[in-house]
Amino acid sequence: MSVTVETGLRHGLTADEYARIEAALGRAPTIEELGVFSVMWSEHCSYKSSRVHLRGLPTTGPRVLQGPGENAGALDVGDGLAVVFKIESHNHPSFVEPFQGAATGVGGILRDIFTMGARPIANLNSLRFGSVAHPRTPYLVRGVVAGIGGYGNCIGVATVGGEVSFDPGYDHNILVNAFTLGVVQSDRIFRARAEGVGNPVMYVGSKTGRDGIHGASLLASAEFDADSESKRPTVQVGDPFTEKLLLEACLELMSPAYSAHLVGIQDMGAAGLTSSSVEMAGRAGSGIDLDLARVPLREEGMTPYDILLSESQERMLLVVRAGSEDVVRALFAKWDLDAAVIGTVTDSGHLRCTWEGRQVVDLPIAPLTDGAPLYHRPAVEPAPEEGARLLLRDLAEPRDYGHVLMQLLESPNLCSREWVYRQYDTYVGGNSVVRPGSDAAVVRLDGTQKGVAMTLDCNSRLCLLDPYVGTVSAVAEAARNLAVSGAEPIGVTNCLNFGSPEKPEVMWQFQQAIAGLRDACLAFGTPVVSGNVSFYNETEGRSIPPTPVIGMVGLLDDVSQRVTQWFKGEGDAIVLLGRNREELGGSEYLAVIHHQVRGPLPWIDLDIERRLIRTVLAAAREGLLRSAHDVAEGGLAVALAECCISNETGPPVGARIELESGLRPDALLFGESHGRIVVSVRRRHLTRLRELAHRDEVVMTSIGEVRGQRFEIGDLVDLPVLAMRERWRSALERTLAGRLGE
């Protein structure tokens, strides 16, 4: 087939990029070589619009064993152990085919973790859907949730937390971001490098089919249009039972009994065999020769092009020591998996592929990796919209605050997510000690007293109004969510979801988000050790709200010191740590009750946030806290209500709250000021808590006590907690069922 610039354009390349390919090769590429370039230079694989900005993030620290550049990041947690974690997007596939798109997103992030030698112990997910009133939303929600549960439950890794949000900005482009954390001996982390000239390259796992071809270049790296439904063939099909076999076989190969046979290992994820072989060679400064006729296939008539670009799931690429081939084959045969020698490590610095005796690919590695295009795209701050700033004097105050609180508790973004997470196995593996429903998930580290806490956070409405402050706020909220769980924040992964980088206003949003991520992570001492950029999240020119999802991991030296958000006992004192401010910009109250999305955003001070976290962690370690809960979406009234009604294993409890403030009542109850945490303590511990707060210069106010079966705030709110909990817990299921006509 004759390859021309028009062929390159159909592969998602620009005319300039095609010219660069011809200049690098001194000739026109073959169709197979063009396919390799198209996926390796895609936005999804090359990060050509984001690399220049990502370099400014803090990625080092005393705990960092592996930062960005490998399949996942790794942090030392002591006792000879490391945690390995990462978050990845699977947005476009999940919109096109929600069940398989979400399922294979889970499968892919799991492989990123166990390819490092770590056993996955926890999954989380961050999901963004359109308005619940959109006719397609219930279908997408059900498909995505079923896909996540179907894959995670079958493979036997607990899904322990996450977040779900609804916004009309995602009506035509949902987000499915998947996070996995695993545990490994800190001196037994494996990396993806093709080292040792003459060492064999082995293919292991499922056979290769045609599913997923051009998933990285033409699905994940392009915006949607009216024909997006036709892209279903580019969505991969997952098999969690095969993945379970692959996981166990790979971890056995990495065990002390077999690890001497293994040199390098990488998941065949986005761009499949192409990206895994090119990236392994690129990291090692080596070359790879592949015989594509040796690749195990499940379909007849596949071409070299198909084989190179297939994104079939549950496959790994290994480099093993020469002479170890039979040992590796036998090990994978024990797990009923294919294992075939398909190539050799060379010192050529080239990827060379043959097919039935003829060479179809001969490409230098460097232009495919470090030499990929790097764009400094223009960024322009969009002009502010007229009337975009909120004036409180123009906002009518509610007549019935109890009614408003119930409206918020039943709103799609604040109601219970129980309908979602009860479809997930949250206990499998036996390490889950705090499941979904509190501020952060907590899992036990086997063989130690330690625990690891995890959270995913992003308020995209804040990021839409101000991407810098919104991203800082997401990092701060994540840190608070860990602290109120008793965990010290130690590291970050991120999934940066944006529209087209070719739009200057989107690029400005991205740059501002990166700056906010950098500044906040520096302030909290939480290095960014892994992550993902997902551009082109838009349909027919409509971009999603900027959504920089923050995954943060925290450490508990003693897992028995974990804290949950719900009130525990009658008579306990309720305390607010932090200061209330008269701020309603960007709030859920403003959006749900007044149907407005406006700023200015709540004021945030990272020094105050650090001191607040220090106080809460000290109180948790001393065993003072009966409960602790971050004040975030919905404001103080919603946070207090959640403390009363969110305990699934026991009855709801009431509270009597008295708030003295000169603030207007709706701002006091529903404003989303930062730097606030609600805790409950036994009364005898109030003095010690006050001492800790005074030490850290944190404002502390006693605001009430746990009592009875009613939720009362002064003379503004008086509601029965049983009714509150029932309506809060059932709201999401009722809403989705109503939209489906059930």
Q: Which CATH number fits domain 1-30+191-373: 3.40.718.10, 3.40.50.12280, 3.90.650.10, 3.30.1280.10?
A: 3.90.650.10
What confidence category does residue 232 fall into, taking pLDDT thresholds of 50, 70 and 90?
very low
Contact 609, 674 (CB under 8 A): yes
60: its two tokens = 């080092």
Residue tagged active-site, from 11, 53, 90, 350: 90
313: its two tokens = 């799931």
Given a cut of 70, whether residue 54 has pLDDT beyond it is: yes
Beta strands of 450-603 (E only): which ranges? 451-457, 488-497, 528-534, 538-539, 542-543, 547-556, 573-577
Q: Poorest-confidence range of 100-104, 253-257, 530-534, 539-543?
A: 539-543
Which residue, 207, 204, 213, 203, is CA-closest to 306? 213
Contact 506, 498 (CB under 8 A): yes
What confidence category does residue 59 fall into, taking pLDDT thresholds of 50, 70 and 90?
very high
Q: Report the C-alpha gap between 230 and 96 in whole angstroms.
A: 8
What local confidence, expressed as pLDDT, does residue 485 receive?
98
3-state secondary structure (DSSP) of residue 701: strand
Burial 133-153 (b: 16+ CB within 10 A, else e): ebeebbebbebbbebbbbbbb
- What phi and psi values does residue 35 have, to the nearest 5 degrees? -60, -40
Residue 701 burial by Cβ neighbours in a 10 Å radius (0-12, 13-18, 19+) = middle
Strands 287-291 and 528-534: what pairing?
A: unpaired
What local confidence, expressed as pLDDT, does residue 227 receive?
53
Planar angle of CA 416, 520, 116, nearest 5 degrees: 75
Residue tagged active-site, from 44, 53, 172, 629: 44
Give the helix/strand (H/E) hosting 180: strand 175-185
Q: Poorest-confidence range of 170-184, 214-228, 346-360, 703-717?
A: 214-228
What local confidence, expressed as pLDDT, does residue 225 receive?
57
- Mean pLDDT to the nearest integer, 563-571: 96
What local confidence, expressed as pLDDT, does residue 662 receive?
87
Given a cut of 90, whether residue 614 has pLDDT beyond it is: yes
Q: Report the C-alpha gap between 658 and 206 in whole angstroms.
A: 62
Dihedral sign of CA atoms 611, 617, 620, 626 in order:
positive
Establish how many alpha carbons lie within 13 A of residue 503's alpha carbon, considering only the half-sphere containing its beta carbon: 19
Q: Report the C-alpha gap between 661 and 668 in whole angstroms.
A: 8
Which residue, 119, 276, 269, is CA-closest to 194? 276
User: What is the model's pTM?
Assistant: 0.95
DSSP 425: -
pLDDT tens-place string over residues 461-492: 999 999 999 999 999 999 999 999 999 999 99
Domains of the chain, residue spans = 1-30+191-373
Planar angle of CA 495, 498, 501, nearest 5 degrees: 120
Strands 441-444 and 432-434: what pairing?
A: antiparallel
* Arithmetic mean of pLDDT over the chain: 94
What local confidence, expressed as pLDDT, does residue 216 receive?
55
Tell the residue number behind the tokens 């949003």, with chain if given: 509
Establish how many alpha carbons lie within 13 A of residue 541's alpha carbon, considering only the half-sphere containing its beta carbon: 0
44 is catalytic: yes
Planar angle of CA 223, 68, 262, nearest 5 degrees: 110
Q: Hey, what's the torsion of the CAs at 288, 289, 293, 294, to 10 degrees?
A: -60
DSSP 429: T
Give how far the C-alpha of residue 194 lies from the chain's centroid of Cα atoms, to the nearest Å: 28
DSSP character string of 230-277: GGGGGS----HHHHHHHHHHHHHHTSTTTGGGEEEEEE--TTHHHHHH
Q: Report the C-alpha gap between 2 and 71 in whole angstroms.
A: 36
Q: Report the C-alpha gap between 580 and 558 in whole angstroms.
A: 32
Given a cut of 70, whether residue 741 has pLDDT beyond it is: no
Beta bridge partners of 457: 550
227: its two tokens = 């024909």
Q: Report the C-alpha gap between 559 and 581 in whole angstroms.
A: 34
What local confidence, expressed as pLDDT, does residue 74 receive?
98
pLDDT tens-place string over residues 642-653: 999 999 888 999
Q: What percent of the chain is modeled with pLDDT above 90? A: 90
What local confidence, expressed as pLDDT, does residue 236 receive?
73
pLDDT tens-place string over residues 203-231: 999 999 988 776 555 555 566 555 545 44
Contact 465, 96 (CB under 8 A): no
- Mean pLDDT to the nearest integer, 107-115: 96
What local confidence, expressed as pLDDT, does residue 740 receive?
59
Distance between first and last Cα of the chain:
53
Beta strands of 598-681 (E only): which ranges? 625-630, 655-657, 677-681
